[in-house]
């Protein structure tokens, strides 16, 4: 199915594809509750009170380092909101910011304006529109940090158009809620941050979350290769070894361990705790190297 320019996908919610997104990300239940409460409140208040009294922009921002589950959680949140408003149609729209500022598309400013002023309101015309603005910093690059030499004027204009568009969209369409994610809040325009009704910092998984991620992954693998299930008993030890890794890296690490050698790759039943610990250690070393480089 083709989508309008700048839209990665859109569909009605609740949608079965989105169900696991909410539960597969392991974090404090408090975070989920807070996000859902904030989102529902923002939608309700904005439909009942004037902006001058209740300056809510209908923007929720999830910020945190890469691989911590922000995008997945944002999709899950949209789905949960839809479930809590059963008598109202809910439409999900995922914006593709890269397409918007790509040079191939050109004329970014107009493209951005059209997206916010026409495309999204049209898609989300009936009921509630839940809009995912993933990696919002690419769209709203801090004007502060942009140097005219390194970045085409077009990007500046696109940033202005994005800010104006977001403002107008949520002011004129109080049935629209924007859920934005960023793994680079320093690059994000301060105006976007100040517009957010709620900013949730999604951190690296703590011990309990790491344990759950590991157990969940081993359990899934164990559904196919039965002997892997036994490793779940070692989840505490593995959670300790994974300290400092993000959720994506932890899940990937277990699969990387399955490729430790050809025998294990051919028969994942042979996977051992030592192999997983070793891949976690390796991932931590690589991570340390890249952090040192970037701060050097």
Contact footprint for ligand ATP (CB under 6 A): 24-27, 66-72, 181, 183, 205, 209, 213, 247-248, 251
Between CA 223 and CA 228 the distance in angstroms is: 8
Residue range at the interface with Mg ion (CB under 5 A); choices 70-78, 114-122, 143-151, 193-201 = 70-78
Q: Provide, rounded to whole angstroms, the least separation between the CB of residue 3 and Mg ion.
A: 19
- What residues contact residue 228 under an 8 Å CB cut-off, 6+ apart? 218, 221, 222, 268, 269, 271
Residue range at the interface with Mg ion (CB under 5 A); choices 19-27, 36-44, 67-75, 283-291 = 67-75
Beta pairing, strands 59-63 & 7-13: unpaired
Residue range at the interface with Mg ion (CB under 5 A); choices 22-30, 63-71, 100-108, 227-235 = 63-71
Q: Between 109 and 138, whose beta carbon lies closer to Mg ion?
A: 138
Size of the site for Mg ion (CB under 5 A): 1
Q: Between 184 and 225, whose beta carbon lies closer to Mg ion?
A: 184
The residue at minimum Cβ distance from ligand ATP is 247
Q: Between 155 and 179, whose beta carbon lies closer to Mg ion?
A: 179
Among 68, 71, 159, 275, binds Mg ion (CB under 5 A): 71
Task: Concatenate the DSSP letters of all residues of 9-66 into one string.
Answer: EEEEES-GGGHHHHHHS---HHHHHHHHHHHHHHHHHHHHS-TTTS----EEEEE-ST
Between CA 62 and CA 179 the distance in angstroms is: 8
Other Cβ atoms within 10 Å of 1 Cβ, number: 5
Q: Between 2 and 294, whose beta carbon lies closer to ligand ATP?
A: 294
Instruction: Give, in order, the Cα–Cα distances in Å from 224 to each of 200, 220, 295.
Output: 36, 7, 42
Q: Between 165 and 205, whose beta carbon lies closer to ligand ATP?
A: 205
CB 113 within 8 A of CB 169: no
Q: Provide, rounded to whole angstroms, the least separation between the CB of residue 250 and ligand ATP.
A: 7
Binding partner at 108 among ligand ATP, Mg ion, none, C-beta below 5 to 8 Å by kind: none
Q: Provide, rounded to whole angstroms, the least separation between the CB of residue 212 and ligand ATP.
A: 7
Q: Does residue 138 belong to the site contacting Mg ion (CB under 5 A)?
A: no
The closest of 254, 173, 175 to 220, measured between CA atoms, is 254
CB 114 within 8 A of CB 5: yes
Query: Which helix (H) or strand (E) element contains residue 91?
Result: strand 90-95
CB 188 within 8 A of CB 136: yes
Q: Between 29 and 149, whose beta carbon lies closer to ligand ATP?
A: 29
Between CA 152 and CA 169 the distance in angstroms is: 26
Q: Between 137 and 189, whose beta carbon lies closer to ligand ATP?
A: 137
Binding partner at 205 among ligand ATP, Mg ion, none, C-beta below 5 to 8 Å by kind: ligand ATP
Q: Provide, rounded to whole angstroms, the least separation between the CB of residue 25 and Mg ion.
A: 11
Alpha-helix residue ranges (DSSP H) falling in 49-182: 70-84, 97-101, 108-114, 120-123, 153-172
Binding partner at 207 among ligand ATP, Mg ion, none, C-beta below 5 to 8 Å by kind: none
- Residues at the contact surface with Mg ion, assessed by CB under 5 A: 71
């Amino acid at each position: 199915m083709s989508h309008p320019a700048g839209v990665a996908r859109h569909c009605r919610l609740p949608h079965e594809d989105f169900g696991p997104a909410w539960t597969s990300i392991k974090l404090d239940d408090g975070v989920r509750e807070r996000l859902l409460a904030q989102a529902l409140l923002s939608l309700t208040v904005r439909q009942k009170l004037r902006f001058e009294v209740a300056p809510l922009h209908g923007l929720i921002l999830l910020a945190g380092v890469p691989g911590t589950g922000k995008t997945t959680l944002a999709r899950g949140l949209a789905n949960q909101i839809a479930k809590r408003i059963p008598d109202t149609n809910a439409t999900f729209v995922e914006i593709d910011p890269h397409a918007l500022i790509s040079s191939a598309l050109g004329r970014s400013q107009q493209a951005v304006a059209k997206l916010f002023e026409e495309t999204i309101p049209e898609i989300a015309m009936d009921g509630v529109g839940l809009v995912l603005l993933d990696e919002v910093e690419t769209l709203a690059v801090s004007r502060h940090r942009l140097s005219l030499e390194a970045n085409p004027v077009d990007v500046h204009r696109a940033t202005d158009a994005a800010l104006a568009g977001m403002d107008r969209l949520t002011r004129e369409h109080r049935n629209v809620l924007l859920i934005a994610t960023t793994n680079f809040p320093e690059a994000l325009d301060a105006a976007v941050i100040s517009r957010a009704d709620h900013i949730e910092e999604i951190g690296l998984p703590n011990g309990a979350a790491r344990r759950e991620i590991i157990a969940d992954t081993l359990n899934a693998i164990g559904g196919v290769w039965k002997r892997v299930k036994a490793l779940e008993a070692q989840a505490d030890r593995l959670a300790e070894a994974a300290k400092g890794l993000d959720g994506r890296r932890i899940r990937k690490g277990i699969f990387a361990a399955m490729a430790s050698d050809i025998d294990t790759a051919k028969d994942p039943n042979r996977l051992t705790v030592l192999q997983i610990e070793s891949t976690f250690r390796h991932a931590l070393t690589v991570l340390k190297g890249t952090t040192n480089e970037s701060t050097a």
